[in-house]
Amino acid sequence: MQNLQAHFVDELKDIYNAEKQLVRALPRMAKAAHSRQLQTAFNDHLKKTKNHVQRLEKIFKDLGRPVAGKKCEGMTGLIREASDLLEKDSPPDVMDAALIGAAQKVEHYEIAAYGTLRNFARHLGDERAADLLQETLDEEGEADKLLTRIAESGINQQASEQPD
pLDDT in tens, 1-41: 799 999 999 999 999 999 999 999 999 999 999 999 999 99
CA distance from start to end of the chain: 51
Per-residue pLDDT at 163? 78
CATH code for 4-160? Answer: 1.20.1260.10
Cα separation, 54 vs 47, in Å, equals 11
User: What is the pTM (predicted TM-score) of this model?
Assistant: 0.94
- C-alpha to C-alpha distance for 22 and 109, rounded to whole angstroms: 12
Could you tell me what percent of the chain has a pLDDT over 90?
A: 93
Q: In the chain, where are the structural domains located?
A: 4-160
Query: pLDDT band for position 44 (50/70/90)?
Result: very high
Whether the pLDDT of residue 130 is over 90: the answer is yes
What is the Cα gyration radius of the chain? 17
Give the DSSP letter string of 60-88: HHHHT--------HHHHHHHHHHHHHHTS
**pLDDT over 90 at 48, yes or no:** yes
pLDDT tens for 7-17 read: 999 999 999 99
